[in-house]
Amino acid sequence: MFAQTAHGYAADQGEPSRIYDRPTLNRLVQNRGMSLQWISWDDSRGTVKVVWEGKQLRLTGSQRQVGGPGEIALDGYVTEVGVGYFTFEGEIRIANTPDQGRSCKKDKSWHFAVTQQRRYFRLREFEWCDYLTDYIDIYF
C-alpha cells in the first residue's frame, strides 16, 4: 500500500497553475476516475481528486486491483491546462502489476492529452518504466 506523501513542486515555488482552456479544466476537475490497463479490464476505475490549493491545482489519484496486489498512485500539481491537454508535475507509482514485484516510481513533468476524440486524457509517456507500455487514463 502506498503511503500518502506531500509534494512541493509548483506550490513550493508559488507559481500558479496556468489555465488556457476552461472546458478542458472543467473536464479534469469533474473527472470520472482513472485506470491503468493492467488493473482495470473490468471497469473498476480508481479515483482522481483535482482541487485548488491557493493558486495551484492539486491532483491526487489511485486505483487498486480488486482481489489482487496491483496499484497505481498519482500525486502532484497540474502546472498547465490547455485545449485537450494538461501537464502534471509530480510522482507516479505503480506496484505489483502486471506482475507481482514490479515497482515503478518517477517524479517528473508528465503530459496527458485527449487524442482521436476519446473521452479521457491519456498519459503520453508510455514506456517510462522497464519497457512495458502503461496506459494511464483519466476519464471525463
Residues of the domain holding 88: 10-139
pLDDT digits (tens, 9 = 90+) for 44-90: 899 999 999 999 999 999 999 988 899 999 999 999 999 999 999 99
Global pTM reads: 0.88
Q: How many CA atoms lie within 13 A of 61 on its CB side?
A: 28
**104 belongs to a structural domain:** yes
**113 belongs to a structural domain:** yes
Q: Say whether 104 sits in a helix, a strand or coil.
A: strand
**3 belongs to a structural domain:** no
Tally of domains within the chain: 1
Say which residues have a Cβ less than 8 Å from residue 2's Cβ, sequence separation at least 6: 62, 71, 73, 93, 95
Q: Is the dihedral of CA 3, 131, 33, 17 positive or negative?
A: positive
**1 belongs to a structural domain:** no
**108 belongs to a structural domain:** yes
Q: To which residue does cell 503530459 refer?
A: 111
pLDDT digits (tens, 9 = 90+) for 86-135: 999 999 999 999 999 999 999 999 999 999 999 999 999 988 999 899 99
